[in-house]
Amino acid sequence: MEQIKQTLAVALGAVLGGQEIQLERPKSYEMGDLAFPCFRAAKSMGLNAAQLADHLAHNVSIAGAELVATGPYLNLRLDSENRARTVLGDFFARREDMLKPDAETILVEYSSPNIAKLFTIGHLRSTMIGHALVQVNRYLGHRALRLNHLGDWGTQFGTLLAAYKRWAEADNPKLEMDFPWADAVPEKRRSPLYRLFQLYVRFHKEEQENESMRGEAREWFRRLETGDAEARRLWEWFREISLSEFQRVYDRLGVAFDAMDGESFYSDKLALTVDALQGSGLLEDGEGGSRIIRLEDVGIHTPCIVLKGDGSSIYATRDLAAGLYRKSRYAFDKCIYVVGSDQVLHFQQVFAVLDKLDTWFKGRMVHTPFGMVKLPEGKMSTRAGNVIFLEDVLDEAVSRVLDIIEDKNPGLPDKHHVAEMLGMGAVVFFDAMNDRVKPITFTWDRIIALDGDTGPYVQYAHARICSVLRKAGGDWIDLVRPTCSLGPDTAIIPFCEVEVPPALGGLSDKSAHSLLYELAGLHDAICSVRRENMATALARQLVSISKAFSGFYTNCPILTGDNTEADRRARLSLCVATARALRQGLWLMGINAPEEM
């Protein structure tokens, strides 16, 4: 379809004298496969859009297609045969994983959990949105790098060190036992990392009433910042405990990172950053001896604090250092921060300061905020201790799916593995279907339903096609299997090259063309993920494809009936293209598609 788009754009450009041609997709294939909205071009030519559309319909011609003016739009409608051949061809060619000649370098910073805390459901949103952005950029031939800005530095480590000294060091130094003072812990959570988290929560609670504890925590952070051996040793150990736990979760989610330079990585680069800010005359005195940068002139009324009164750095200082470091290390075109909407102000400040310091940053820094996730019970907060842990949500989804499998298909081989794929898919897909910015509330029945706009619905469509292909015999099923195993670094699923059948008469039904039309929309949906920095368009398109497949499956018998061999082959080919589209689309979102469920 890209080729036809190009041909049409060139032909239109010739008539319109080199104006930029933006093509869209009409609402349905009955209207056409491509649409050119004439408004802008007409305006610049002093015509009305409908007149221009009409003029173009009479003066442009494309082989194998019909050009029709529909109000202010010029629609291109492919001949049926041509549509089928073009769309199948798109999915049957072998796609190479390679950079575009004008590839951009995109940094995507996501996940970024805090050491000594557990993954929360908010980190899942960041992780999976970030993963999808990376995958989509890579799929489209850009260089995308995966950065994890671990929260492994800051005053909270003072809290943690102080809490460890108080309540663990003497009788639970390796954090191997449950604390007698804490509530009973569920079996799966009895880990050193969880105990660190319990220490943190307890300290935080008690310091509210006990001012001196705050001083204690501050003192420990000061020792950490000045390189005190004991503080450093404990901090390293806390970090290690956390990282191994995080890795387990990342493996489960199928994600990986190119760099895990956390906040601590910048601790030796802060002085240089502060010097640069000082040198450019941006730093001013703030309250209590702090050093700040005023941003009123760019419409931000809260100044960015760079150094606290006691000279220590804060979260923003480390982000400023990270920005400068990334500029010199990666010379990126764009740096996308996938972080919750509660940090909007923080990023406005950081980006504004970087812009002031160096105009190179202008337009390159992007925060893609996302809303909080709620369970029906209410909001979560790590400090209060009533958090929603990521793994609990995944486990819950998987166990609910397993119940359904036990009920509907108890003989399914590899049940647990399939349940894991479906449960994960359900949660991640639900997340993507929702507007990125609004808060979302989890409603289990809606998330795992097989018959709504859900991940399992799309996965089910894929599995149903696989079952048809298996029954078709021969090597049909192999055509929808990757030619080598997939890993977190794979963006484009390697499928083998297939020949488009010579006769496509078996695809003359309307339902087949609806499906072809939806398949052709996959590429646009993927481009829109890159443009909008959210996976919603892709998730929706996968649902549309699945629905269209269901219509095709009902109306066009594939293996049954008195199909000719040619019709059977044409229809199976459409099945292959659909399964590939679904599997590839889900994969970009970080979701696996089982062959059976």
Q: How far apart are CA 19 and CA 273, in angstroms?
A: 45
Min. distance of Cβ 265 from ligand ARG in angstroms?
12
27, 59, 115, 160 from 39: Cα distances, Å: 18, 18, 53, 61
* Stretch of 26-34, 107-115, 386-394, 495-503 contacting ligand ARG, by CB under 6 A: 107-115
> Is residue 200 a contact residue for ligand ARG (CB under 6 A)?
no
Q: Quick check: helix, strand or coil at residue 201?
A: helix
User: Which residue lies nearer to ligand ARG by CB, 157 or 549?
Assistant: 157
Min. distance of Cβ 157 from ligand ARG in angstroms?
13
Contacts of 47 (CB under 8 A, 6+ apart): 55
Q: Which residue is nearest to ligand ARG (CB)?
A: 151
Q: How far apart are CA 388 and CA 384, in angstroms?
A: 11
Min. distance of Cβ 338 from ligand ARG in angstroms?
8
User: Which residue lies nearer to ligand ARG by CB, 339 or 419?
Assistant: 339
Q: How far apart are CA 238 and CA 234, in angstroms?
A: 6
User: Which residue lies nearer to ligand ARG by CB, 45 or 314?
Assistant: 314
Which class for 441: exposed (0-12), middle (13-18), buried (19 or more C-beta within 10 A)? middle
Min. distance of Cβ 249 from ligand ARG in angstroms?
14
Min. distance of Cβ 194 from ligand ARG in angstroms?
17
Give the residue, chosen from 80, 112, 368, 544, that forms a contact with ligand ARG under the rule CB under 6 A: 112
Residues 514-533 that bind ligand ARG (CB under 6 A): none
Min. distance of Cβ 143 from ligand ARG in angstroms?
20
- Looking up tokens 């031939």 gives 141
Min. distance of Cβ 305 from ligand ARG in angstroms?
14
> Is residue 365 a contact residue for ligand ARG (CB under 6 A)?
no
Q: How does DSSP assign 398-466, residue by residue?
A: HHHHHHHHHHH-TT-TTHHHHHHHHHHHHHHHHHHHS-SSS-EE--HHHHH-TTSSSHHHHHHHHHHHH
Relative to beta strand 304-307, strand 291-293 is antiparallel
Contacts of 375 (CB under 8 A, 6+ apart): 388, 441, 442
Min. distance of Cβ 439 from ligand ARG in angstroms?
16
Min. distance of Cβ 138 from ligand ARG in angstroms?
21
Q: How far apart are CA 561 and CA 256, in angstroms?
A: 48
User: Which residue lies nearer to ligand ARG by CB, 365 or 463?
Assistant: 365
Give the residue, chosen from 33, 54, 90, 109, that forms a contact with ligand ARG under the rule CB under 6 A: 109
Give the residue, chosen from 32, 72, 130, 151, that forms a contact with ligand ARG under the rule CB under 6 A: 151
Angle between helices 315-330 and 344-357 (to 10 degrees): 50
User: How many C-beta neighbours within 10 Å does residue 248 have?
Assistant: 12
Contacts of 46 (CB under 8 A, 6+ apart): none
Tell me phi and psi for residue 547, to 5 degrees: -65, -45
Tell me phi and psi for residue 165, to 5 degrees: -60, -40
Residues in the chain: 597
> Is residue 111 a contact residue for ligand ARG (CB under 6 A)?
no
User: Which residue lies nearer to ligand ARG by CB, 319 or 392?
Assistant: 319
* Stretch of 111-119, 244-252, 425-433, 583-591 contacting ligand ARG, by CB under 6 A: 111-119
Q: Is residue 323 within 8 Å of residue 365, measured between CB atoms?
A: yes
> Is residue 462 a contact residue for ligand ARG (CB under 6 A)?
no
In single-letter form, the type of residue at position 448 comes to I
* Stretch of 74-82, 106-114, 281-289, 412-420 contacting ligand ARG, by CB under 6 A: 106-114
Q: How far apart are CA 396 and CA 518, in angstroms?
A: 33
> Is residue 114 a contact residue for ligand ARG (CB under 6 A)?
yes
Side-chain-facing half-sphere of 587: CA atoms under 13 Å: 24
User: Which residue lies nearer to ligand ARG by CB, 149 or 462?
Assistant: 149
> Is residue 149 a contact residue for ligand ARG (CB under 6 A)?
yes
User: Which residue lies nearer to ligand ARG by CB, 337 or 552?
Assistant: 337
User: Which residue lies nearer to ligand ARG by CB, 265 or 337?
Assistant: 337
User: Which residue lies nearer to ligand ARG by CB, 151 or 506?
Assistant: 151
Q: Quick check: helix, strand or coil at residue 479?
A: helix
Contacts of 81 (CB under 8 A, 6+ apart): 504
> Is residue 372 a contact residue for ligand ARG (CB under 6 A)?
no
User: Which residue lies nearer to ligand ARG by CB, 351 or 517?
Assistant: 351
Min. distance of Cβ 146 from ligand ARG in angstroms?
13
Q: Taking CB under 6 A as the rule, which mask of x and - marks residues 311-340 in contact with ligand ARG?
A: --------x-----------------x-x-
Tokens representing 295 are 């941003």
> Is residue 420 a contact residue for ligand ARG (CB under 6 A)?
no
Which class for 378: exposed (0-12), middle (13-18), buried (19 or more C-beta within 10 A)? exposed
Min. distance of Cβ 339 from ligand ARG in angstroms?
4
Min. distance of Cβ 486 from ligand ARG in angstroms?
28
Tokens representing 179 are 């604390």
User: How many C-beta neighbours within 10 Å does residue 188 have?
Assistant: 10
Q: How many residues bind ligand ARG (CB under 6 A)?
A: 9
Min. distance of Cβ 330 from ligand ARG in angstroms?
14
Residues at the interface with ligand ARG (CB under 6 A): 109, 112-114, 149, 151, 319, 337, 339
